[in-house]
Amino acid sequence: AQTVTQSQPEMSVQEAETVTLSCTYDTSESDYYLFWYKQPPSRQMILVIRQEAYKQQNATENRFSVNFQKAAKSFSLKISDSQLGDAAMYFCAWYDMRFGAGTRLTVKP
Amino acid sequence: NAGVTQTPKFRVLKTGQSMTLLCAQDMNHEYMYWYRQDPGMGLRLIHYSVGEGTTAKGEVPDGYNVSRLKKQNFLLGLESAAPSQTSVYFCASSYKSRSGQTFGDTQYFGPGTRLTVL
């Protein structure tokens, strides 16, 4: 079965510091998309960042970037200069609509 | 644009009752999805649709039915509700990925429906 695994149920970071959330997946496909979604306490799911597997360059969106290692099937999310508003559940997701179990990020002031 | 809307936002059912959840999107997306989210777990796909008049089973389809009679609407039905179906239900929609692929791109989510089955 093709799966998406987030091994960190909870993480915490000091405001203005950097944190990395990990995600691994298992697939035999060669071309696919990977996503990180954020779910704040409001419950609304919001896209954070998207990576296309055929692209060599890691995706970046302002303070958010990914470390995509295709051979290792790893897709980690780095949040730089963490802000209080970054506190949320973060879900890694695969193009076939499978989601990881999530990582709860706490930001300490 | 409203994006993706879900009706209702909350619902309480008794075991054995039926109900329909409505999802509507105004972004002209081809793909639509229904997920459930349970505590400590990510989203699990119930059913999805890649176009008007088409539906397909996801990871946890048992006990649910769906219909997509119009491109903008995707309905999720519970014929005989059970306590195990207590959950938060999310609808989402997306464009198809780039030409030549068969999967969807970035999903846009509705606000969710909290369903309790007593």
Examine the pLDDT at B93 and tell me if it is beyond 80: yes
Average pLDDT on B56-62 reads 95
Lowest mean pLDDT among A57-71, B1-15, B49-63, B89-103: B89-103
| CB-based contact B59:B44 (threshold 8 Å) | yes
Is B11:B117 a contact under the CB 8 Å cutoff?
no
Query: What are A29-53's pLDDT values in tens digits?
Result: 888 899 999 999 999 999 999 999 8
Tell me the pLDDT band of B39, cut-offs 50, 70 and 90.
Answer: confident
What pLDDT shows up at residue A1? Answer: 55
For residue A2, the model assigns a pLDDT of 60
Q: With contact defined as beta carbons under 8 Å apart, do A39 and A46 qualify?
A: yes
Q: Checking DSSP bridges between strand B56-57 and strand B4-7, what pairing results, if any? A: unpaired
The number of C-alpha atoms within 13 Å of B100 and in the hemisphere containing its C-beta is 2
A44 to B58: CB separation less than 8 angstroms, yes or no: no
Q: Residue A19 has what pLDDT?
A: 98
- Res A54: pLDDT: 86
Does A100 reach chain B within 8 Å, measured CB to CB?
Answer: yes
Q: What is the mean pLDDT of chain B?
A: 94
Residue B78: Cβ within 10 Å count: 20
Q: Which of A3, A27, A29, A45 should one mutate to test binding to chain B, selecting the residue with the greatest count of B CBs within 10 A?
A: A45
pLDDT at residue B112 in the model: 97
Q: What residue in B sits closest to A1 (Cα-Cα)?
A: B59
What's the CA gap between B109 and B118, in Å, rounded? 27
pLDDT tier, A109 (very low <50, low <70, confident <90, very high otherwise): very high
